[in-house]
């Protein structure tokens, strides 16, 4: 799975007065002193669930046909964040009912994607499925497989981007059109959600290929990947 986030408003000046002050307070504590608070909004607000929003969630799942892995990909994207979240949460409930021990998989999902989804769901007062009710769980009870953590091999200080990891593993880069830093501009200026969704699905496919690499299995061929509308 993978999510794409943007600032919650087109620009800093579109924020309500109290939110502007809260952003200034947030960025003053987390950014270099020289960074302009207003300019930082466009670049960094999408990293924070309090100031950003989810515009796309893409998912994929493996299934086996004729003794070969196949992958089905699907994107939920909409200007209304609640539509995106409800669609995803409903799918999680369906999967949990059929496969109680399924795991979320993604790159850096433990520290970004899953917490962001949960926080935005709480903001919109949406009920979290059981697999996303994470508070109080022991680490081994959390149903997540994170390729960043697989690559760390216990080194919690180490960070490797998905772009770098796919490159060294011989996997096609998912960043051949846009990357995460461009999503806010593509959304607010170009208003091209389908382009963002296509990029998000590429990230999901890249993670799927990484998982196969970790298992020393052949990569998926194009004909083994299905895009579900």
CA gap 207, 213 in Å, rounded: 10
Given this model, what pLDDT does residue 221 score?
A: 93
Mean pLDDT of 217-222: 94
Given this model, what pLDDT does residue 157 score?
A: 86
Mean pLDDT of 21-41: 80
CATH number at residue 25: 3.30.420.10
What is the b/e burial string over 62-89, where b = at least 16 CB atoms within 10 angstroms of the residue's CB?
Answer: eeeeeeebbbebbbbbbeebbebbbbbb
Given this model, what pLDDT does residue 133 score?
A: 94
* pLDDT 10s digits, 111-151: 999 999 999 999 999 999 999 999 888 888 889 999 999 99
> What is the overall mean pLDDT for the chain?
92
* pLDDT 10s digits, 53-78: 999 999 999 998 888 899 999 999 99
Give Cα separations from 87 to 76, 78, 80, 164 (angstroms).
Answer: 7, 10, 11, 31
Domain that holds residue 27: 2-228
pLDDT tops 90 at residue 89: yes
Q: Please tell me the total count of domains within the chain.
A: 1
CA dihedral 132, 136, 138, 143 (to 10 degrees): 0
């Amino acid at each position: 799975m993978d999510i794409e986030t943007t600032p919650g408003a087109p620009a800093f000046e579109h924020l309500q007065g109290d939110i502007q002050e809260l952003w200034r307070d947030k960025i003053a504590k987390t950014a270099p002193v020289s960074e302009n608070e207003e300019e930082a909004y466009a670049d960094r607000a999408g990293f924070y669930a309090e100031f950003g929003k989810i515009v796309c969630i893409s998912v994929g799942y493996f299934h086996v046909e004729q003794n070969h892995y196949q992958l089905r990909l699907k994107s939920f994207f909409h200007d209304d964040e609640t539509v995106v979240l409800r669609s995803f949460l409903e799918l999680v409930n369906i999967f949990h009912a059929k496969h109680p021990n399924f795991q979320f998989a993604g790159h850096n999902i433990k520290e970004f994607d899953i917490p962001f989804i949960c926080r935005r769901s709480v903001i919109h007062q949406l009920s979290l499925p059981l697999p996303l009710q994470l508070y109080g769980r022991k680490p081994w009870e959390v149903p997540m497989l994170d390729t960043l953590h697989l690559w760390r091999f216990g080194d919690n200080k180490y960070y490797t981007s998905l772009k770098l990891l796919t490159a060294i593993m011989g996997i096609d880069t998912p960043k051949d059109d846009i990357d995460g830093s461009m999503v806010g501009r593509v959304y607010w200026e170009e208003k091209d959600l389908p382009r963002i969704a296509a990029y998000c699905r590429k990230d999901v496919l890249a993670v799927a290929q990484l998982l196969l690499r970790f298992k020393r299995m052949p990569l998926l061929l194009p004909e083994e990947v299905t895009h579900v509308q």
